Structure 1
Amino acid sequence: MFLTVTANPSVDRTVEVARLTRGELHRAAAVHVQPGGKGINVARALVRNGHQARAVVPAGGPEGDQLIRLLTGYRVEVVRVEVAGPVRSNITVVEPDATVTKINEAGAPLSAAERESLLGAVLDHASGVGWVVAAGSLPPGVPDEFYADLIHRLAPIGVPVAVDTSGAALPAAVKAGPALVKPNLEELAEVVDRPLRTLREVVDAAGELRSRGAAAVLASLGGHGAVLVDGDGTWHAEARAQARSSVGAGDALLAGFLAAGGRGPSALAAGVAWGAAAVSLPGSTMPGPEDVRAHRVVVHPDVEWERRIDT
């Protein structure tokens, strides 16, 4: 069983168009409405591949009701935390070359009591799970230390925590000592405050996050695959994929990595396979077993240290 918490969930509408031109009328080629938020996407990917996952979400308003109905349709077990504010709506426009334009609402603030209820719901359901995944942005007004607080509260239980977030919440969570953090290239560069142009620089930045408290770092690099740095070593893996939509690919990567044990090159290969499969699907569709092509993944025996990843 995996437990995910998404502090700022969403209802995501993805619209496919032939070409996006500012100020023009567009005809949608396809529309997809799906439950969104990083933790929710991780749970969806796990369930699609036969794993048990429970998603803890704050959900208020009619949009919250819609979110729960959508999640139930995906057979994700849901722990709903009632809050006053509505669940946000996000719009993604995707062009045939996989160019993605996103319009994300900020989300409704959570009161101190609502934040405590959300943390309490995670603690109530964390006993005996394999991983807790704390993922996504934080709603307005929620302290940057929210995920760090969760990590500290889960420590006595002994369950490993994986964190996928951004902004000031990421370094705060790293300092709390999670078992894993999963930044993308931009998030990793932001947290170490310098550009990352080569695999060597990515690995060095991941090592810096480990020195600050994270036990392992899984860095997603878009078309360049992903890098894993932990106490046992450093690995780089990548896969070929026909890109259709990159939305949710990093969440699929994290889900695949955790489903395969959450450690070492074999888990990295599984994560990259799931992520590559997600890229080939519309909207934020999570891949199932029929979509994953493990044979397309290459785990390089030696890291190409000077390989450019900023192009």
Structure 2
Amino acid sequence: MEAKNQTAISEFLLLGLSDDPELQPLIFSIFLSIYLVTILGNLIIILTISYYSHLHTPMYFFLANLSGNDICFTTSTIPKMLVNIQKHDQNISYIGCISQVCFVSVFVGMENCILAVMAYDRYVAICHPLRYTIIMNPCLCVMLVLVSQFISIADALLHSLMVLRLSFCTEPKLPHFFCELAQIIKLSCSDPLINNLLIFVTASVFGGVPLAGIIFSYVNIVSSVLRMPSSVGKYKAFSTCGSHLSVVSLFYGTGFGVYISSAFTDSSWKSAVATMMYTVVPQMMNPFIYSLRNQEMKEALRKFISMTTSLV
């Protein structure tokens, strides 16, 4: 019976944020705007860093990777939602849904790892400034990104393969605008113990370890900065960390908000909105945070945009 249920399921139904037909044009416009702003903002960050040689440092190398990951993260969820709204079709194929689970897991994992690597970079720059160029050499920077990718892909494939073993007894309706792993497990009529245990373990390891690394880095950064005799030095040190700390707070703050809201509310609509805050908003806001809080980046962006507009 279980094998039959698995082969019978050919697609999932994405209920989205609302089933009101009158609200669909508004939702489409909002998400299209969010997607375009996210793509444009992060793409400008990447092009600016690539164009100016004085930004070819470890900090901006990791920022370019973060922007690229944010573009991919947003692209894995929003375009399918926009297509469904435009076609008045809420279906997503079984393979498409599993693929979406895999891609979202990869990019969430990459976001965690890159933010941790960026925190380590700031830790070395502030706590060991004389050895910074030796420690954060190009080989190590590339290696840190590749290891982050490998860990994220391995984690995502593990979750995706475990989802394939699930069976579904009824028409699977997902109360979200994309295929979220936790919601798929809830819809299954299989025993979810192994899947839930896997989520707990991987979240603790692949989420907890990077977060612990970020906290450790900033504890040492704060301790080192407070020992500086010059107030100017303290301000400069904190200013280099301000953008990254804001991005970390936004990403983990919205992430924790999702799980807190899902634990204390049974409303599928509230859960979908909370998930949107976690998977869409940080990726859109990251370019603005770095362009507004980082003076060097702000100046480079201003020059790059002026140059681009003059050419047009």
* TM superposition score category, shorter chain reference: under 0.3
TM-score, length basis structure 2: 0.27
Higher RCO (C-alpha 8 Å, min separation 6): 2
State the structure with more CA Rg.
2
TM-score, length basis structure 1: 0.27
Instruction: Specify which structure has the higher proportion of helix.
Output: 2
Instruction: Specify which structure has the higher proportion of strand.
Output: 1
